[in-house]
Structure 1
Amino acid sequence: MGSVSGSDFHQELLFAFGGGDRNVTIAVLDGPVDRTHDCFVGAPLTPLHTAVMQRSGDDAPSSAQSTHLASLIFGQPCRSVEGIAPMCRGLIAPIFGDSRPVCAQADLADAITRALDHGAQILLIGAGSFEQPWYPSPALARAIARCNIRNAMIVASAGRYGCSTLLRRCGTLNLLPVTALDGVGQPLGGNDGNLSDIGIAVPGSSVSGAALEGRVVQRSHPNVAAALVTGAAALLLGVQRNAGLAPNPAAVAEAVRMTATPQTSPSGSALPPAWTGRKNLEAAAAYLTGRYEGAYASGLFEAWYRARAGATRSDHAAFRPRA
């Protein structure tokens, strides 16, 4: 695979399909977000009063990590950080707080439940420390059962960085564990665990996002990759709506996996299947709708899609919602 930085990947996906649909709702489960940052001016964000926030109080400090993640999704056009799905509705559901940096299963279950109550279709669970042992509590099992009934999709960092193992043991149906690739296409920090547990890999190095006190910083982490995939998944839900289809997060999760490109390292060892650019997103849209989106597609993706879905051509093209 050629060299692709996380920053380049982020820029390629910006404003695809108009930047998303206001009827698509994404929940970010991490820490409190600094919504005073200029990139969030005009963003449809709603903070949820989770159990963590009830303990921390309304004056709880914002999290640098969660602010960065939220900006990659909801950063508004022409601001210091532009997000992948700025037109989508966002829910901020803190699960980490300064008073308790380890996320308890009860707090995770509470945040998931509140996000579902507010219409979340995609939930991004940030990386951090999660309460062990790694078997689900009854409360978390009930919350995941509600996710399954609602057909909600959960995106989380794969391996030691996230809670994907715990969520899998809960029986999560629409779980997409994400890992990050560095600038030369290798897993960030080296291979971690069983590749079969990784749903997709995307470039996640040196991605610029919002920081505290109005700053912009670059971060490299599987968490960053998960946020980029979350934004892309939200765009695909909007594609379904625009095509007259019912929004189906489960189908979106499948489309993301199916349009990832198999890859191997120079030594011949297996690597996680990856998305590396806009063409993957276009192929996923075609997979979902049965229409071939040719504006950014290459001969390789045309051959891939026609072999699987018998697509017909369409003149639909993505556009940037700006003057």
Structure 2
Amino acid sequence: MVVAAGLVLGLGATGASADQTRDDQWPLIKYSAAQDVWPVSKGQGVTVGLIDSGVSATHQDLVGQVLPGTDLSGASSDGRVDDLGHGTEMASLIAGHGHGPGQGDGVKGLAPAAKILPVRVTTSLRGDLAQGETRLADAIRYAVDHGAKVVNMSLAGASGRDSSLREAVRYAVDHDVVLVAGAGNGGAARVAYPAAFPGVVAVGAVQEDGSVWSGSNHGPEVTITAPGVRIVAAGKDGPAKYRIGDGTSEATAYVSAIAALVRAKYPDLSAGQVINRLIKSAVAPPDGSKAPNDRYGYGIASPRHALTDDIPAGPTANPLLQRAESQQDPSPQQSAAAAGGGAQTPAPGSGGDSAQAPKASADGSGVSMGLLLGIGAAVVVLVVVVVLVARSRRRGGPGGPGPGGGQPPAQPPYPGPGQQYGSPQFGAPQYGAPQSGPPPQPGPPPQYGPPPQGYGPGGQQPNPYQQPNPYPQQNPYPQ
């Protein structure tokens, strides 16, 4: 099956110099990585499969971190090239080691001792794959067969109806691999595939204050959230270039890094038990909402709690295999609309490019498959409306008893009924810091721009990241 609108990644804006980069990595500060995380685990001995646009292995913050992989994009490489930059960004957030004296400059990943196995699946901004989703399925199997214990998929837009892709996901689950994917960047009430497949950790994005990013797709499949706004990462345009971006791609990379940290610290845990730790150690939503819910899942991922909390291992099986899919065998159009972006912007992302025009039919009539599918969908909708109205009249009112009623299935309590999950309430300056007193009240989103003291010496200076995004944030796939 060919992807209806192509798998989508995302790109952020360029800018910034390395000597300012480390201080601008607010997730490392929130997570208190240097004090509370890296003394416990740095992800050593764990390989993270990165299914993306490749990785620029010569970036100063990634030298030595990227293993030879493969290229399924139709190009000839071992995956250690990146024309888009998206894969390089994700790799740096997972396993970047920085550079300079004490490696204190540049981008440092949350699991800086992990290794990256690049599996390149696209080279174009549109993200179209030469052989459709079969390439993504092949990519998953390749990563599993070549030693990846965690697989990062910062992409979206696959079809839930692709049996080969569904089988590849199950292949990874059966081979004890943690699969992590972005929920999508359209801000839609629908989690994109592959994140929506049972067994996959579906990741949403939060801002610095812990509130859910407005562009983060949501739905009952969301498992967990992580930092995904104004994320500084390595760039593709040279060994000392950096970028900044928003999206569930970045959040996905951070969750993959946390999974790598846990797998290094607890090598005897199964992939399902690692996911169980991610769920039960998540920080409670800062808005006071009850978890799990459609926006936060089980809360904000916390590396410190995942590594140090006293959490029973639990069953070895993947707890997400029992998660219901709210989309109920979506059509290709629905899959494309759900994509919105696995990361930041255009079609690798959630905006910028326009969808390709429908192609004419083979007989030259000019009737496109998209039009035929649209007409078919309209007929189906009409029939469903008639049936629902008739059923409503028979039952004496709208909705009626029994399943349906227009509500998606409730997210199952996959940690198990009666079990505790969620760490202490979100608090500053850390995600998961011990709390005292009443829980903090959510405030307005932070205003970004130059901090009062300015950037670097010389007092007030312009924010090097305050630049126009060259990739407009708009969804090319109409809802």
- Same fold by TM-score greater than 0.5: yes
Are residues 1:226 and 2:252 paired? Answer: yes
Q: When the two structures are aligned, how many residues end up with a matched partner? A: 278
Change beyond 3 A, Cα 1:61–1:229? closer
Conserved? CA contact 1:75–1:83, under 8 Å = yes
Q: How big is each residue's C-alpha offset from its partner over 1:137-180, in whole Å with a ceiling of 9 and x where there is no partner?
A: 3x22332231121021111111456996434675x43x111111
Conserved? CA contact 1:180–1:203, under 8 Å = yes
Counterpart CA distance in 2 for 1:150 and 1:278 is: 24
Which residue does the alignment assign to 1:39? 61
Q: Please state which structure has a larger fraction of its residues in strand.
A: 1
Conserved? CA contact 1:126–1:157, under 8 Å = yes
Q: Map 1:1-323 onto structure 2 (within 5 A).
A: 5-6=26-27, 8-9=29-30, 12=33, 15-22=38-45, 24-43=46-65, 45-52=66-73, 55-58=74-77, 61-77=82-98, 78=103, 80-98=106-124, 101-103=127-129, 104-128=132-156, 130-132=157-159, 134-137=160-163, 139-160=164-185, 165-167=192-194, 172-173=198-199, 175-189=200-214, 192-194=217-219, 196-212=220-236, 213=238, 214-241=240-267, 246-263=268-285, 265=287, 271-272=295-296, 273-275=298-300, 279-284=304-309, 286-287=310-311
Counterpart CA distance in 1 for 2:265 and 2:272 is: 14
What secondary structure, in the 3-state scheme, does the structure 1 residue paired with 2:67 have? strand
- Mean Cα deviation higher: 6-15 or 34-43: 6-15
Conserved? CA contact 1:102–1:131, under 8 Å = no
* 1:135 Cα deviation from its structure 2 partner: 0.8
In structure 1, runs of 5+ residues without a counterpart are 291-295, 302-323
Counterpart CA distance in 1 for 2:168 and 2:97 is: 31
* 1:123 Cα deviation from its structure 2 partner: 0.5
* Letter aligned with residue 30 of structure 1: D
Q: Please state which structure has a larger fraction of its residues in helix.
A: 1
Identity score, percent: 21
Change beyond 3 A, Cα 1:282–1:140? closer
* Letter aligned with residue 149 of structure 1: D
Q: CA RMSD in A?
A: 3.4
- Mean Cα deviation higher: 215-224 or 155-164: 155-164
* 1:206 Cα deviation from its structure 2 partner: 1.9
What secondary structure, in the 3-state scheme, does the structure 2 residue paired with 1:17 have? coil
Change beyond 3 A, Cα 1:69–1:156? same
Counterpart CA distance in 1 for 2:303 and 2:196 is: 33
Counterpart CA distance in 2 for 1:122 and 1:97 is: 23
* 1:76 Cα deviation from its structure 2 partner: 1.5
Conserved? CA contact 2:185–2:248, under 8 Å = no
Change beyond 3 A, Cα 1:82–1:11? farther
Change beyond 3 A, Cα 1:90–1:5? closer
What secondary structure, in the 3-state scheme, does the structure 1 residue paired with 2:285 have? strand
Which residue does the alignment assign to 1:313? none
* Letter aligned with residue 251 of structure 2: A
- Mean Cα deviation higher: 144-153 or 159-168: 159-168
In structure 2, runs of 5+ residues without a counterpart are 1-24, 315-430, 437-479
* Letter aligned with residue 231 of structure 1: A
* 1:75 Cα deviation from its structure 2 partner: 0.8
